[in-house]
Amino acid sequence: MESLGVLFTNPMDSYLEEELGRRFKLFRLWDSPPEKRKEFLRANSGEIRAVVGNSVMGADADMIDALPALEIVATFSVGLDKIDLDKCREKGIRVTNTPDVLTEDVADLAIGLAICTMRQICQSDRFVRSGVWLKNGAYRLTTKFSDKKVGILGLGRIGLAIAKRAEAFNCTIGYHSRTEKPNTHYKYYPSLISLATNSDVLFVACALTHDTFHIVNREVIDALGPNGFLVNIGRGPLVDEPELVKALVEGRLGGAGLDVFENEPQVPEELFGLDNVVLLPHVGSGTVETRKEMADLVIWNLEAHVLKKPLLTPVV
Ligand code: 8YV
C-alpha cells in the first residue's frame, strides 16, 4: 500500500490524515507555500497516483493536468463540485465520494437551522446572556415551524431525509428537481419559482453544477417573500448571495439559515447585524461519528483501488 502516493489537498480531518499516513505515502499540499505549489506538484508528479480533497479543495483541471500518474480522486465529501469530473472521465481517472454516511447529520442540521431561524433560538439565547431579559422582559413572538409548507430544492438522499423529518412536524412537502421522482408522494413543482411561491420554508439541497449556479436568484427569493425562510445546507453558490443579502436587509425575505456561503470562510458582514439569520461555518457533516465514517470510506475506496477490487462509492 505504501507505494500509493496520495496528495492530501488541505488539512480536513486528523484521523483521516493519520490513517492515510499509516497506509500510503502522503503528500501534504499545504506543506509548500501557495506560490510554490506548482513546483511541488511537478517534483512529486511521478509518485502521486491519488488525490484526497474535500469541499474546500478537490482536483481541478490544472491539478489533474499537473499529475500525469493520477489514477483516483477520493473526495472527503459527498459534493463533487471541486472536481473536474469531465476531465477525470476523459483521462480514465476514477472518482469516489462519501454519500449516505452524512445524510442524517446534514438533514438534522437543516431542520435544526429552520427551527433555529424561525424561532430565533440563537437570538433568544443572546437575549438571555446579555441581560436584556432581566431589563426589558419577554422576548418578541417568532414564527412556528410545524404545519408549514416546506419546499425542497433537490430531492436526492439529503433532500429526502429532510422531507422525512419535516413530515414528522406535520409539514406539507413540495419539491423541485430536474425530473419528477417516481416513488414519492411529495408534490412535484416543475419550476423553482412555483415551488418558492408555494413554500414557507425553502431548503436548498441540490448539487452545485454549471446548471444550478445561482439557481436561487432574486426572482426565487421574491417568490418566497417577506414571510418566507431560506435554508441552505448545499453549497453557497447555489444562491445569488448579493441578492440574498439585499432581500434580507430590505425585508423582502423573512429570514435565512445558512450553513454554506459563496466564498467560504468569507461571510457578508451585512448579515452579522440581522436578527432573522442564523450563520453556521459549514458544519453539516461535522460530527465525530460522521466524519469518522466519511474518513473510513475514503480509506476503503483507496485500498480497494490498490487491490483492484470494486470501489465502494464510485462516481466515475
Ligand atoms: C464537508 C461537504 O464540509 O460532503 C460535503 O459535500 O460539504 C462536507 O461534508 C467537507 O467536505 C469536509 O471537509
Answer whether residue 253 is part of any domain.
Answer: yes
**Catalytic-residue membership of 282:** yes
Q: Are residues 264 and 292 in the same domain?
A: no
Q: Identify the CA nearest to 153 among candidates 263, 58, 233, 271.
A: 233
Distance CA 45, CA 63 (A): 10
Q: Identify the CA nearest to 5 among candidates 66, 54, 67.
A: 67
Answer whether residue 314 is part of any domain.
Answer: no
Q: Using the mean position of ligand 1's atoms as its centre, give its distance from the Cα of residue 289 in Å.
A: 14
Domain span at residue 74 reads: 5-99+288-306
Are the C-beta atoms of residues 139 and 126 closer than 8 Å to each other? no
Q: Are residues 162 and 92 in the same domain?
A: no
Q: Using the mean position of ligand 1's atoms as its centre, give its distance from the Cα of residue 79 in Å.
A: 7
Answer whether residue 315 is part of any domain.
Answer: no
Distance CA 145, CA 13 (A): 34
147 in the Ramachandran plot: left (φ > 0), alpha (ψ -120 to 50) or beta? left
Q: Are residues 272 and 162 in the same domain?
A: yes
Distance CA 229, CA 104 (A): 22
Q: What is the pLDDT of residue 3?
A: 86
pLDDT in tens, 173-220: 999 999 999 999 999 999 999 999 999 999 999 999 999 999 999 999
Sequence-separated (6 or more) residues with CB below 8 Å from residue 76: 12, 13, 16, 52, 53, 54, 98, 294, 295, 298
Q: Are residues 143 and 236 in the same domain?
A: yes
Q: Are residues 218 and 122 in the same domain?
A: yes
Q: Are residues 228 and 194 in the same domain?
A: yes
The pTM assigned to this predicted structure is 0.97
The active-site residue out of 23, 28, 157, 282 is 282
Q: What is the pLDDT of residue 2?
A: 63
Distance CA 91, CA 231 (A): 37
Q: Using the mean position of ligand 1's atoms as its centre, give its distance from the Cα of residue 78 in Å.
A: 6
Q: What is the pLDDT of residue 24?
A: 98
pLDDT in tens, 57-81: 999 999 999 999 999 999 999 999 9
Q: Are residues 157 and 48 in the same domain?
A: no
What are the CB-based long-range contacts (under 8 Å, 24+) for 269-273?
270/245, 271/245
| Ligand 1 pocket residue status of 75, Cβ below 6 Å | no
| Cell numbers linked to 257 | 439559515
Q: Whose CA is nearest to atom 4 of ligand 1?
A: 77
CATH number, domain at 94?
3.40.50.720
Q: Are residues 71 and 54 in the same domain?
A: yes
Angstrom distances, CA of residue 14 to CA of 103, 152, 295: 22, 34, 10
Please identify every stretch of the chain with a pLDDT value under 70, giving residue numbers as ranges.
1-2
| Ligand 1 pocket residue status of 97, Cβ below 6 Å | no
Answer whether residue 213 is part of any domain.
Answer: yes
Sequence-separated (6 or more) residues with CB below 8 Å from residue 43: none
